[in-house]
Amino acid sequence: MGISFPEGFLWGAAGSAHQIEGNNVASDLWALESRLPERSGDACDSYHRWPEDLDIVRDLGLGAYRFSVEWARIEPVEGEVSRAQLAHYRRIVDGCLERGLVPVVTLHHFTSPLWFQREGGWLADAAVDRFRRYVRAVLPILDGVPWVCTINEPNMVAMTAKAIKEGRREEGVAGAMAAPDQALADALIAAHRAAREELGAAGLRSGWTIANQNFEAVDGARAERDAWAWPREEQFLEAAKGDDFVGVQAYTRVRIGRDGALPVPDGARRTLMGWEFYPEALADAVRHTARLLPGVPILVTENGVATADDAERVEYTRAALAGLHAAIAEGADVRGYLHWSLLDNYEWGSWAPTFGLVEVDRETFARTVKPSARWLGDVARANAL
Ligand code: IFM
């Protein structure tokens, strides 16, 4: 007998603009990509092929699609809002609704306009006002969107800001990186609050999506773990108190010893990201978030695995979902699960780590649905494992 998920549980797949659309030429990352191992280029050409992507999601039997609106397209030059780009993204929202898919829309997924970065990025005095102005510009196209994510993985944005500025690709897990500049973290939290004010005034439900690192204390290093976790994760979760929902994104765990993050143990099974293969991460992250944010509904906005072996994707996801089911049975208020990612997409400097349920030919952009996608579709249709 299968294990069932709550009635109305949302099943879907996710992606982000820069990673799938292609030619995001007015963004900060585009300008830096020549210093990264690989460029995004045409990416998956989803800027043009999004109807095909939505058809795949619907045909699989999934019920939701998470995508992001690209600030650099909406406002390529400071203060100049492109109506045509707004209309483009509205067509995707409508495309979801017409197919019976629930749109989950992220307003900022790592990339910013190049002008914003050049004017000081999140550390500029005007940063929060600039983000608020962008959110206001996007409001008219969000009608009918039940889940609006303000900023994706603010903890990652904060921790990788320096590397991005220097045109480096951070290797390893986010949770092992240096703590972020606190002024940057504060600015992101203020930007999230400003966005929520605007969205709330328009009657839209919003939250943000946090990279959960599952910090584990090794050899009793609890105090060290707590001190490590606060700047890198907890402060961002804490800032979600009172939000309409919180997005949980989990892939692996990070072990913390007396001197900080420990490397993945020798011989541990790893993914193409070099991360420990650890599907239990999802349940751990959900339990942790539910404990810290009682009363805030949880949406799993990302979970998945970078692997070239599609059977391993099923194995990972099955185990992650079994854990998720257990966390729900214990009382966590989880409303849905969005797999990362729909497509094999651009993994911030490299095309090598394939997270997709669907393969994309890098020359023709032809999509090939993998067995794992059909398996997840079957789970979604049955609403059970
Ligand atoms: O690809 C990223 C995504 O953009 C944000 N969360 C983690 C994913 C895998 O690294």
Domain ranges of the chain: 10-382
Ligand 1 centroid from CA 33, angstroms: 17
Q: Name residue 247's beta-bridge partners.
A: 209, 299
Q: What is the DSSP letter of 278?
A: -
pLDDT value of residue 47: 99
344 CB under 6 A from ligand 1? no
pTM over 0.85: yes
Give me the CATH topology for the region 10-382: TIM Barrel (3.20.20)
354 CB under 6 A from ligand 1? no
* Among the listed residues 120, 118, 15, 132, the one whose alpha carbon sits nearest the alpha carbon of residue 71: 132
Tell me the DSSP string of 57-71: HHHHT--EEEEE--H
* Among the listed residues 147, 275, 269, the one whose alpha carbon sits nearest the alpha carbon of residue 211: 275
H-type helices in 148-245, by residue range?
Answer: 154-165, 182-201, 222-229, 235-238
Take residue 317 and report the two structure tokens written for it: 């996801």
Ligand 1 centroid from CA 40, angstroms: 14
Instruction: Tell me what the mean pLDDT of segment 273-302 comes to.
Output: 98
Q: Could you confirm whether 80 is annotated as catalytic?
A: no
pLDDT value of residue 65: 99
Number of H helices, E strands in the chain: 14, 13
Ligand 1 centroid from CA 308, angstroms: 17
251 contacts 304 by C-beta, under 8 angstroms: yes
Q: Is residue 79 packed enough to be buried (19+ CB in 10 Å), middle (13-18) or exposed (0-12)?
A: exposed
Take residue 379 and report the two structure tokens written for it: 């789970």
Take residue 250 and report the two structure tokens written for it: 């989990």
pLDDT value of residue 125: 98
Measured between alpha carbons, how far is 344 from 339 in angstroms, rounded to an integer? 12
| Residue among 153, 198, 302, 347 flagged as catalytic | 153
Which atom of ligand 1 lies closest to the CA of 306?
A: 9
Output the CA–CA distances (angstroms, integers) from residue 353 to 19, 104, 118, 195, 315, in the order listed. 12, 24, 30, 32, 17
| Residue 382: its H or E element | helix 371-382
| Residue 308: its H or E element | none
249 CB under 6 A from ligand 1? yes
302 CB under 6 A from ligand 1? yes
Ligand 1, atom 9, lies closest to the CA of 347
Measured between alpha carbons, how far is 252 from 214 in angstroms, rounded to an integer? 7
Chain-centre distance for alpha carbon 150: 11
Take residue 264 and report the two structure tokens written for it: 């993945």
Answer yes or no: is pLDDT of 1 > 70: no
340 CB under 6 A from ligand 1? yes
* Among the listed residues 31, 77, 33, 26, the one whose alpha carbon sits nearest the alpha carbon of residue 47: 26
What's the mean per-residue pLDDT of the chain? Answer: 96
Measured between alpha carbons, how far is 185 from 235 in angstroms, rounded to an integer? 9
| Single-letter code of the amino acid located at 111 | T
pLDDT value of residue 170: 73
Output the CA–CA distances (angstroms, integers) from residue 56 to 53, 63, 156, 252, in the order listed. 5, 11, 30, 28
Q: What are the two backbone dihedrals, phi and then psi, of residue 55, each rounded to the nearest 5 degrees?
A: -60, -40
pLDDT value of residue 322: 98
Measured between alpha carbons, how far is 116 from 111 in angstroms, rounded to an integer? 10
| Tens-place pLDDT, residues 85-138 | 999 999 999 999 999 999 999 999 999 999 999 999 999 999 999 999 999 999
Percent of the chain with pLDDT over 90: 94
Ligand 1, atom 2, lies closest to the CA of 347
Output the CA–CA distances (angstroms, integers) from residue 136 to 96, 106, 142, 152, 198, in the order listed. 22, 14, 10, 18, 7
